[in-house]
Amino acid sequence: MRNLKWHEKGATILRIVSMLLALFCLYAHFFVPSAEAKPQKIYWSNEVPAGWRGEWPEELRTVPEKTSFERTSSSLEVLEFIDKLRWRTDKMAIIPMFMTPQGRAGVAVVLADPRVATPAEAKASGKPVIYLQGNIHPPEAEAKEALLILMREILLGSKKHLLKNQILIICPNFNPDGNDALRLNEGWPHLIGNRTNSQNLDLNRDAIKLETPEVIGLYRSIFNLWDPLLIYDGHAMGRVNHGYAIVYATSTVPAAHPAPRGYVFEVMFPALRQAVRERYGLEIFTHCLFDEKSWPPKIWSHDLAIWSTEAKFIVAAYGLRNRMSILAETPGHVHFERKIYAHYSLISAILEYTSEHGREMQAVCQQADEEVVRQIREKASRGELKNYVAGKYESWGKVDLLAYRSNRPFLLPGTSVMAGVEPAALGAPEIVTGVEHLTKPVGTKEARVPLGYIIPEELSWVAEKLRIHNIKVETVSKPCQADGEEFVLDSLEKERRWGYDMTVLKGNFVPVKERQIPPGSFLVSLEQPLANLAFYCLEPEAADGFVGWGLFDSYLKAAGGGEKKIVYPIFKYFRLY
């Protein structure tokens, strides 16, 4: 919710945490004895350190490791690898998440020491739950393979300590149907899956509208029951000119509480950047692309990398739950092993960080939960509380950027494959100074936040979608009245945005007194931690809420929307009696 106090409190928390981290670093620098530090080698382009995966018996090697990184694992091979691990450890449990439209099983594994098999056991432990996901887009298979390697190390190798203070839930293969729809690839691996699921739907555009069994299963079996403190979603980009091994983003939806996303961006990301450089020899930075119209570039922008302030992406929408989230993407043109190593390095650094700082991260999110409910109780009934329904990016200031002047595809000598890294993009990139860092989310349009919403009985599907989001919905048992406002439509239009035809309603809110609420109606009180999410889904002018995704189109058109003035069916109440 947009409120100055929220931003002030969030900033205060971040300043305190930053000061504590600075004091810790100062202590470590002056008082912790260590061997003389050696400069860390930085690996560029296709480079990876020798032996980074360790030595393992054949039955515990992944498909890429067995095939010189020419192949990625099939859905069956992912299940077989998980099965081999669970016969060698007492620290794993399996979560059936969903069955795909083609009948493949989507599973996640719970890693915990001691073993945890239920959400109740996880909650009783007090440990933070971290959710890690790969292969939502199967042509971007590197996170899937990195997670398999990390599971092996956490359970059987050198990273067992990562289960001391946290519980990990890992879904390496979130899109099994797409994974197995193989086609030829210009590069590594030589065969890749399909970006969409078998319904031809992009799973990473389903975070709000909830049309796919995969995302519905994720919400019902993981998000709603286990309440992860932080989620990670692994991706790859296309051919890029930036010089980073992997780039990161967090939720930038202006309607979300600012403290969790502020912690990730302002506290966690700088620490991860340093840790990945020092421990793994990689340079990482924010998930952007630069303008290529001239050299040197002047803009480094989330928008250019198709990371918008809208909530359509799973990582973006997760911020509306007052929780933390990270999306990361490797350059798409480098070698498969390099891309796997980049995800492996960043995820490892994230888990080291959450292992050490999980409690303070929990405190930030808990305070956000309490603040959301308190603001509703204190201000919503008076119409004093507002929140954003749309946003844009502004600059944080100028940064220095690692970039290559050129990175064009070319035919590999002696082959019919257009792949590889051109010589101009091998080795260290140039440092470009003074580039605008356009990743600061700001709200551009706002609406009043009500005490709650009333949904007509005939729109039971709206109530069901809200419940899948874990938003509390009640059924009105006896007649009552409400004072509030309704949205009167002047027009219904379509706007092409981020590859989709989104619905845009034009109109105005009109105050209403003594609205009669019949039994059977659905009531959504915003006196709950997920108030921001409910607001975003139901507001008629939200950029990509239920209206934006066209879920109300048939209802509104049947009522004459676009041809005459009609009333949006969801009523906002400020008083119920």
Instruction: pLDDT band for 14, please (50, 70, 90 cuts).
Output: low
Judge whether residue 29 has pLDDT over 70: no
Tokens of 329: 């993407």
Query: Which residue's structure tokens are 């390697």?
Result: 149
Pairing of strands 430-448, 299-301: parallel
Judge whether residue 38 has pLDDT over 80: no
The pLDDT of residue 124 is 98
Give the pLDDT confidence of 366-423 residue by residue, as tens digits. Answer: 999 999 999 999 999 999 999 999 999 999 999 999 999 999 888 989 999 988 888 8
The pLDDT of residue 52 is 97
Tokens of 140: 């971007």
Q: What is the CATH number of domain 4-41+70-442?
A: 3.40.630.10
Instruction: pLDDT band for 292, please (50, 70, 90 cuts).
Output: confident
Which of 458-467 are b and which e, b meaning 16 or more Cβ less than 10 Å from the residue's Cβ?
Answer: ebeebbebbe
In this structure, the dihedral spanned by the alpha carbons of residues 330, 335, 336 and 342, taken in order and rounded to 10 degrees, is -40
3-state secondary structure of 163: helix
Q: Which of 374, 67, 50, 100 is nearest to 217 (CA)?
A: 100
User: How does the average pLDDT of the chain come out, rounded?
Assistant: 93
User: Between these two residues, 24 and 210, which has the higher pLDDT value?
Assistant: 210
Amino acid sitting at position 302: H
Residue range 532-552: average pLDDT? 97
Judge whether residue 234 has pLDDT over 90: yes
What span, in angstroms and rounded, lies between the C-alpha atoms of 523 and 517? Answer: 10
Amino acid sitting at position 148: L
Pairing of strands 324-330, 230-236: parallel
Judge whether residue 440 has pLDDT over 60: yes
Tokens of 100: 């795909």
What span, in angstroms and rounded, lies between the C-alpha atoms of 145 and 344? Answer: 9
Judge whether residue 25 has pLDDT over 80: no
N-term to C-term CA, the chain: 25
Instruction: pLDDT band for 424, please (50, 70, 90 cuts).
Output: confident
The pLDDT of residue 39 is 63
Q: Which of 538, 273, 488 is nearest to 400 (CA)?
A: 273
pTM listed for this prediction: 0.93
Domains of the chain by residue range? 4-41+70-442, 450-576
Sort 50 into a burial class: Cβ within 10 Å, 0-12 / 13-18 / 19+. exposed
Give the pLDDT confidence of 314-327 residue by residue, as tens digits. Answer: 999 999 999 999 99
The pLDDT of residue 498 is 85
| 332, HSE (Cβ side, Cα atoms, 13 Å) | 16
Percent of the chain at pLDDT above 70? 93
500, 494 Cβ separation under 8 angstroms: no
Whole-angstrom CA distances from 404 to 43, 202, 244, 401 are 15, 31, 10, 10
Whole-angstrom CA distances from 222 to 122, 127, 169, 367, 387 are 12, 16, 8, 22, 28
Please state, as a whole number, how many other Cβ atoms lie within 10 Å of the Cβ of residue 527.
Answer: 14
Give the pLDDT confidence of 170-194 residue by residue, as tens digits. Answer: 999 999 999 999 999 999 999 999 9
Give the pLDDT confidence of 459-498 residue by residue, as tens digits. Answer: 999 999 999 999 999 999 999 999 999 999 999 999 999 8
What span, in angstroms and rounded, lies between the C-alpha atoms of 537 and 543? Answer: 10
Instruction: pLDDT band for 35, please (50, 70, 90 cuts).
Output: very low
Q: Which of 407, 202, 195, 391 is nearest to 290 (CA)?
A: 407
Judge whether residue 11 has pLDDT over 60: no
The pLDDT of residue 421 is 87
Give the pLDDT confidence of 239-275 residue by residue, as tens digits. Answer: 999 999 999 999 999 999 999 999 999 999 999 999 9
